[in-house]
Amino acid sequence: MAMNYNAKDEVDGGPPGPPGGAAKNRRPDNTAFKQQRLPAWQPILTAGTVLPTFFIIGLIFIPIGIGIFVTSNNIREIEGNVFMYYGLSNFYQNHRRYVKSRDDSQLNGDSSALLNPSKECEPYRRNEDKPIAPCGAIANSMFNDTLELFLVGNASYPTLIPLKKKGIAWWTDKNVKFRNPPGGEPLAERFKGTTKPVNWVNPVYMLDPDSDNNGFINEDFIVWMRTAALPTFRKLYRLIERKSDLHPTLPAGQYYLNITYNYPVHSFDGRKRMILSTISWMGGKNPFLGIAYIAVGSISFLLGVVLLVINHKYRNSSNTADITI
Amino acid sequence: MFCSEKKLLEVERKVKANDREYNEKFQYADNRIHTSKYNILTFLPINLFEQFQRVANAYFLFLLILQLIPEISSLTWFTTIVPLVLVITMTAVKDATDDCFRHKSDNQVNNRQSEVLIDGKLQNEKWMNVKVGDIIKLENNQFVAADLLLLSSSEPHGLCYIETAELDGETNLKVRHALAVTSELGADISRLAKFDGPDTKLMQNSGKTKFKRTSIDRLMNTLVLWIFGFLVCLGIILAIGNSIWEKQVGDQFRSFLFWKEGEKNSVFSGFLTFWSYIIILNTVVPISLYVSVEVIRLGHSYFINWDRKMYYSGKATPAEARTTTLNEELGQIEYVFSDKTGTLTQNIMTFKKCSINGRIYGEVQDDLGQKTDITKKKEPVDFSVNSQAERTFQFFDHNLMEAIKLGDPKVHEFLRLLALCHTVMSEENSAGQLIYQVQSPDEGALVTAARNFGFTFKSRTPETITIEELGTLVTYQLLAFLDFNNIRKRMSVIVRNPKGQIKLYSKGADTILFEKLHPSNEDLLTLTSDHLSEFAGEGLRTLAIAYRDLDDKYFKEWHKMLEDANTATDERDERIAGLYEEIERDLMLLGATAVEDKLQEGVIETVTSLSLANIKIWVLTGDKQETAINIGYACNMLTDDMNDVFIIAGNTAAEVREELRKAKENLFGQNRSFSNGRVVFEKKQQLELASVVEETITGDYALVINGHSLAHALESDVKNDLLELACMCKTVVCCRVTPLQKAQVVELVKKYRNAVTLAIGDGANDVSMIKCAHIGVGISGQEGLQAVLASDYSFAQFRYLQRLLLVHGRWSYFRMCKFLCYFFYKNFAFTLVHFWFGFFCGFSAQTVYDQWFITLFNIVYTSLPVLAMGIFDQDVNDQNSMDYPQLYQPGQLNLLFNKRKFLICMAHGIYTSLALFFIPYGAFYNAAGEDGQHLADYQSFAVTMATSLVIVVSVQIALDTSYWTVVNHVFIWGSIATYFSILFTMHSNGIFAIFPNQFPFVGNARHSLTQKCIWLVILLTTVASVMPVVAFRFLKVDLFPTLSDQLRQRQKAQKKARPLHSRRPQTRRSSSRRSGYAFAHQEGYGELITSGKNMRAKNLPPTSGLEKTLYNSTSWIENLCKKTTDTVSSFSQDKTVKL
């Protein structure tokens, strides 16, 4: 009860502590992790690492940029396959309410979604009490001009250039994402009970006589349904295949473009375009990327030079030696 | 038996002892202690309610509700609910485990056994079942878990000794006395339970633990508000944009983009868009921010718990981070408030040296006769001849033993005095060993020393003291006991030895005692005085020792006068004091003792190192001024190099104010004399704020202020003077302060200096300051638990504070700042892309990324690398952190993360988002893929941008990480790998076949990421976003390297060479003369001894002589009670319970 004045406590280093077992258990483990001594790589930004990096980036980017730029400028040569695009401007395919106005289940051939499309399709979900197939604003606003290309040439009447309709959509879209409603019967039967989108002339099962390019798997339709990221865009319309190695795909000459005008764009101040292009190793014509590479490469190189100069001129000589406290 | 209580409702309690039925009528609280919050049933509702009270959670709930409105919903519901559910579950699990531990510890306390008198029989009862009014029997060394009223005890006169270590950390015993009426009743200690459970003094005093927040927390909250304001601005811009767009463009676009009825209003559309954008842009402050911060802090806490260098093997106590939310604040401490006893010192006194008749004993000399420190090689004096010797006592100077053997009379007299003049009580334990009960450890040390040198104090009665002098028992008659008090600063005994000589033995503060010496002592005085200075210079507590031979006749006259004075009714105290003065003169000096108030290990190094780190240390102690100053010198807080030490000891507000003003003038005056040319300039500055003036102060100053003056100084009009002066001083020592004052001082600094404070202490009297300071540290491993329980961090030794602050604190702060910088950067880069995209999508709140990407970006793709950085990163290693305390300063100055840094991070994020959006934009504009199919579709654009983003932020974290452990490698590379695998999985045919509506991106990853030009875009974006940052950082490190940068380079250079030598600060001792006499005990024990009240009946002498010494049998108890309650009441503040 009374405090015993134990001179034993006076020993240096404190009392001996409780029996070994308990003491051992409470002592933290001596592991590199717990003691924060994990071996580690400690990179530092030094002149030796940073400056060469800048120079290397410069030396790599500038040639890439030049390469891209040259390739991109060469693209007009009409060799190899020629791609025919239609372009629209001021068309907001990336508007939120537009983008979500579709039903991927319906487009994937789901029978219940076919007859009962998603609410997202409103107000293009039902028409006169019948479900719309394909539903939604995207499908409803599908581009439906027809483009035909004629070579005027030497002959008295122009020859129609054969345009390939298939092979313009992504493989996954055509084979996985878009599917007609299942069944063996004709397409019209399978789409029974649905109605066409309001703006359309024909129902979806009459888009193309070719059964492999009809209904939801019509490639023009698929291409349209892959909405554009920007209000000015172009979409692949047709392919012009090279017939033989001897002749260019589109020989030099006068051409005549026949457009069946169905698609109104004046109302929203839009523009239509038709583009013919070839493709290089890095895609279509794209001067931006080449220029950007050259620019970034040059900046990097310049920065390297500037930093080198600054480093030599202003850096207080070996700052590792004198740590001032 | 009735107590005043502070509750208004309950003025008094009437309790019938041992009558449970009667007492139950009042429905007093039971004695169960509840610190837990939940039980199984209430857990879910209470916990959820608590969680949704947090602003962040409520905010995300609000967002979730917004998202359910289809017109607004720009993100699907899962983007918010997945993280929210994750966070809430994690928090709930953590709360549940915490509460489990609380239940456990509650049970442990509640189930302690006690003996209660029930139905006339003593029965074992758990403490939690003890009721108000129960009579409890306590035995020696039992815990007390309720407020009790002492009824009687087995000790004579109903005394009992209690240890209050759990309350105030003091291990010396306090005397409590039973009521006279009840004290005769029982033989064993019985007590009546007064207040139970939540009503106990302790629980009442413990108060609600304040929820502490770090300054980073507060900054973060401000920033979140800023960000929110920023978002609202963006939202408004976009909403206005939307209104205009709808009017000018959207209106014409109606044939394709139908408008529902009721939405045909561009302003309304703008309003909806505003909310839609708020939802999209909220990812700048994702909920994962709060979770990550908690996880990082938890990690840091574990590192503190695991640190072997903060493990004290002596008590098997590891350091413990009891609060896991304050770690980075440890890196910003500016003021440390330290308790003294038990924190800086061990509360162990050791007899180190003495000066007898002009000769020093206790100095250790090596063979060459040079003074050396005590080393292990030196043989301690062998006390084994002496059967009474305390085996653990060590003394290294053999000369003293020689002198005793030679029979030097002065040496004998010296030791005899030590054995006679004290208030120690002796007891024999069961093994027949002599055990001393001491009121003050100082005395214990002296009496023990005398015992080992052969002058053993054996026993005492009110009239006699028996000592064993070198083997022979000698009984001295105790004629008078001249007690200690604060003014006298000395105590004396007058004894008659068996030869009939009367002697007065006196010990006391040298300053006082030297004035009382006989003129013949002059030479010895000078010599001893030098010795005292030497002792004081070593930080030892000194006492001067003197005696006087008394004439029988003279003593009898004097004693007669004393008896008269005692019975006098008026001016009794003054008369007694005068008589004491009268007899304590013409003393013959014997020498001096030097007792070491043992510092905790490493205190000096720690204090020095913390001072170098610009941390100001204030000592707040309940001790006396002398003791406190002594310790200040001992641990180098006060040095002789200081320009001035101001001592404030005024008794009235005016005096205190005057002293403070004078000190300040003095400080400025001296300062001015140092720099003559700037007098005018400084005078002007004097008028300005203290913080400005502070810069111009040269030289070191210290302030010592006692509790009495402090009470005045804390008054509102003097407060500023105090604060100003105190903050200009390097060291501040507050002595004689009450626990409440400790808290007030902390509060003062906290409030007016806006500085981060840390309080460290070991006893319950430190609890208030521990709770008040930003960070409270408890010294664990001691008997008292209160400080530890109230603390945020606990460890066993003061010296670990250095590592806690300089290593763990610094790292925590460094890591947290880096984490926050990166996190804000990352989310700005991630989110603002939506803003730019808004201008191209008709402000329709269309997201740039896939919804799944938005859901997973913060919690899966980028969370782990930044967490790893936040947990493991180090700029310099722990050794360097300790060796260069200057590294600590960025934290104090708040340099690593502040509003400016935040704006830089924000600008960095905005730049990155620009690069992220406009490079793909340029590249995609009108572009075609390498297969001729169009490339600029929304989904490819989203995938390209998401991939660029993940790569850019990964490269950025790679740049930010300065310490790449395995974990960092795994997390950074793993995150990128995870991104691609999840991307390919979500874009796979299989998952589309199952959920065609949720995963519309089928085939996209395959198609996009196989195109060369997409990779060229990603590469370009990455380089363009990162390059300026690298250039900027390189320039900073190259041209303006911080100390940390320099050390990193040196660390790298020396990695393979030898480890850096440790730059231990040299410990200096000053050697000025200080009188360091301080009895740690209270006045009044002299009376207690001479009355014999604290002695067992068997030791009592025949009552015949009792009257002579027992002057006033009631007064001493009153005195004692008054004095003890003084200290107790200071602890319990205003809730004194009168005995």
Question: CB contact, 8 Å: B923 with chain A?
Answer: yes
Name the residue among A5, A57, A110 with its Cβ closest to that of B438. Answer: A5
Range scoring the smallest mean pLDDT among A74-88, A137-151, B195-209: B195-209
Cβ-contact A229, B924 below 8 angstroms = yes
Question: What Å distances lie between residue A165 and A203, A214, B283, B522, B748, CA to CA?
Answer: 19, 11, 43, 124, 83
pLDDT digits (tens, 9 = 90+) for B54-93: 777 888 888 888 888 877 887 877 777 887 888 888 888 8
Tokens 């400005």 map to which residue? B692
Nearest one of B793, B790, B794 to B209, comparing CA atoms: B790
- Higher pLDDT among residues A157 and B1093, named by residue: A157
Q: Which residues of B touch A226 (CB under 8 A)?
A: 934, 937-939
d(CA B927, CA A209): 31
pLDDT digits (tens, 9 = 90+) for B652-695: 888 888 888 888 888 776 554 444 434 334 444 444 444 444 44
Q: Quick one: three-class SS letters along chain A?
A: CCCCCCHHHHCCCCCCCCCHHHHHHHCCCCCCCCCCCCCCECCCCCHHHHHHHHHHHHHHHHHHHHHHHHHHHHHHCCCCCEEEEEEEECCCCCCHHHHCCCCHHHHCCCHHHHHCCCHHHCCCCEECCEEECCCCHHHHCCCCCEEEEEECCCCCCCEECCCECCCCCCHHHHHHHCCCCCCCCCHHHHCCCCECCCCCCCCHHHCCCCHHHCHHHCHHHHHHHCCECCCCEEEEEEEECCCCCCCCCCCCCCEEEEEECCCCCHHHCCEEEEEEECCECCECCCHHHHHHHHHHHHHHHHHHHHHHHHHHHHCCCCCCCCCCC
For position B201, what pLDDT does the model report?
A: 52
CB contact under 8 A, B922 and A235: no
Name the residue among B312, B840, B963 with its Cβ closest to that of A94. Answer: B840
Name the residue among A1, A232, A234 with its Cβ closest to that of B934. Answer: A234
Q: Which residues of A touch B921 (CB under 8 A)?
A: 230
User: In this model, does residue B1128 exceed pLDDT 50?
Assistant: no
Question: CB contact, 8 Å: A170 with chain B?
Answer: yes
Query: In Å, how far is B841's CA from the nearest CA of chain A?
Result: 5
User: In this model, does residue B21 exceed pLDDT 90?
Assistant: no
Nearest one of B731, B396, B408 to B596, comparing CA atoms: B396
Range scoring the smallest mean pLDDT among A229-233, B696-700, B963-967: B696-700
Cβ-contact B477, B495 below 8 angstroms = yes
Q: What percent of chain B has pLDDT over 70?
A: 81
A24 → chain B, closest CA residue: B316
B958 → chain A, closest CA residue: A43
Residues in chain B: 1139
Rounded mean pLDDT of B237-255?
85
CB contact under 8 A, A231 and B841: yes
Rounded mean pLDDT of A193-211?
89
Residues in chain A: 325
Average pLDDT, chain B: 80
Name the residue among B314, B1003, B1035 with its Cβ closest to that of A15. Answer: B314
B875 → chain A, closest CA residue: A42
d(CA B495, CA B504): 6
Question: CB contact, 8 Å: A48 with chain B?
Answer: no
- pTM, to two decimals: 0.81
For position B1096, what pLDDT does the model report?
A: 55
- Higher pLDDT among residues B439 and B824, named by residue: B824
A68 → chain B, closest CA residue: B1013
Range scoring the smallest mean pLDDT among B30-34, B575-579, B994-998: B30-34
Q: Hey, which residues of B are catalytic here?
A: 339
pLDDT digits (tens, 9 = 90+) for B966-986: 999 999 999 999 999 999 999
For position A10, what pLDDT does the model report?
A: 33
d(CA B665, CA B672): 10
| Omega of the bond leading into A123 within 30 degrees of 0 (cis) | yes
Joined tokens for residue B328: 């980075």
User: In this model, does residue B921 exceed pLDDT 50?
Assistant: yes
When computed from its CA atoms, the radius of gyration of chain A, rounded to whole angstroms, is 35
Residue B681: CB atoms within 10 Å: 11
Most confident of B136-145, B386-395, B1002-1011, B1066-1075: B1002-1011
pLDDT digits (tens, 9 = 90+) for A266-298: 888 888 988 888 887 777 777 888 999 999 999
Residue B1069 pLDDT level (bands cut at 50, 70, 90)? very low
CB contact under 8 A, A42 and B989: no
Name the residue among A4, A35, A176 with its Cβ closest to that of B437. Answer: A4
Question: CB contact, 8 Å: B248 with chain A?
Answer: no
CB contact under 8 A, A176 and B992: yes
Q: What are the percentages of helix, strand and coil residues in chain B, rounded to 5?
A: 55, 15, 30
Please report the residues numbered 389 through 418 in chain B whose beta carbons come closer than 8 angstroms to any beta carbon of chain A: 390-394
For position A5, what pLDDT does the model report?
A: 38
For position B757, what pLDDT does the model report?
A: 93
Name the residue among A9, A61, A228 with its Cβ closest to that of B938. Answer: A228
pLDDT digits (tens, 9 = 90+) for B742-780: 888 999 998 888 889 999 988 778 888 888 899 999 998
CB contact under 8 A, A310 and B1024: no
For position B365, what pLDDT does the model report?
A: 56
B845 → chain A, closest CA residue: A96
User: In this model, does residue A61 exceed pLDDT 90?
Assistant: yes
Question: CB contact, 8 Å: B260 with chain A?
Answer: yes
**Pairing of the two strands A159-160 and A146-151:** antiparallel
Query: In Å, how far is A88's CA from the nearest CA of chain B?
Result: 10
Enclosing H/E stretch for B556 = helix B552-567
Question: What Å distances lie between residue B616 and B633, B690, B758, B1059, CA to CA?
Answer: 15, 16, 10, 31
Question: CB contact, 8 Å: B1013 with chain A?
Answer: yes
Question: CB contact, 8 Å: B769 with chain A?
Answer: no
Residue A323 pLDDT level (bands cut at 50, 70, 90)? low
pLDDT digits (tens, 9 = 90+) for B883-915: 999 999 999 999 999 999 999 999 999 999 999
- Higher pLDDT among residues B1062 and B20, named by residue: B20
Rounded mean pLDDT of A67-83?
77
Please report the residues numbered 271 through 300 in chain A whose beta carbons come closer than 8 angstroms to any beta carbon of chain B: 277, 279-286, 288-289, 292-293, 296, 299-300
Question: What Å distances lie between residue B673 and B266, B682, B683, B718, B866, CA to CA?
Answer: 75, 11, 13, 27, 54
Strand spans (E) along B497-573? 502-508, 540-550
For position B157, what pLDDT does the model report?
A: 67
pLDDT digits (tens, 9 = 90+) for B808-848: 999 999 999 999 999 999 999 999 999 999 999 989 899 99
Cβ-contact B83, B858 below 8 angstroms = yes
CB hemisphere CA count around A90 (13 angstroms): 17
Name the residue among A3, A18, A223 with its Cβ closest to that of B171. Answer: A3
CB contact under 8 A, A1 and B1017: no
Query: In Å, how far is A293's CA from the nearest CA of chain B?
Result: 7
For position B1102, what pLDDT does the model report?
A: 41
CB contact under 8 A, A172 and B1007: yes
Question: CB contact, 8 Å: A21 with chain B?
Answer: no
User: In this model, does residue B788 exceed pLDDT 60?
Assistant: yes
Please report the residues numbered 63 through 102 in chain A whose beta carbons come closer than 8 angstroms to any beta carbon of chain B: 64, 68, 81, 83, 85, 87, 90-99
Range scoring the smallest mean pLDDT among B447-451, B567-571, B977-981: B567-571
CB contact under 8 A, A44 and B1052: yes
Name the residue among A53, A104, A170 with its Cβ closest to that of B997. Answer: A104
> For chain A, how long is the longest CA-to-CA vector?
128
Question: CB contact, 8 Å: A265 with chain B?
Answer: no
Q: Which residues of A touch B846 (CB under 8 A)?
A: 94-96, 99
pLDDT digits (tens, 9 = 90+) for B270-307: 898 999 999 999 888 777 888 889 889 999 999 999 99
Q: Which residues of A touch B1052 (CB under 8 A)?
A: 42, 44
Name the residue among A2, A110, A310 with its Cβ closest to that of B437. Answer: A2
For position B783, what pLDDT does the model report?
A: 65
d(CA B821, CA B870): 11
d(CA B33, CA A66): 79
Size of interface A-B (CB pairs under 8 A): 368
pLDDT digits (tens, 9 = 90+) for B408-418: 888 999 999 99
For position B511, what pLDDT does the model report?
A: 80
Q: Which residues of B touch A21 (CB under 8 A)?
A: none
Q: Which residues of A touch B317 (CB under 8 A)?
A: 26
Question: CB contact, 8 Å: B317 with chain A?
Answer: yes
Tokens 């030869």 map to which residue? B499
User: In this model, does residue A23 exceed pLDDT 50?
Assistant: no
A20 → chain B, closest CA residue: B316
CB contact under 8 A, A123 and B1034: no
Query: In Å, how far is A306's CA from the nearest CA of chain B?
Result: 10
Joined tokens for residue B596: 């070491």
pLDDT digits (tens, 9 = 90+) for A131-184: 998 999 999 999 989 999 888 876 677 888 889 998 899 999 999 999 999 888
d(CA B301, CA A324): 32
CB contact under 8 A, B348 and A172: no
Nearest one of B460, B494, B496 to B477, comparing CA atoms: B496
Please report the residues numbered 565 through 624 in chain B whose beta carbons come closer than 8 angstroms to any beta carbon of chain A: 598, 601
Cβ-contact B931, A279 below 8 angstroms = yes
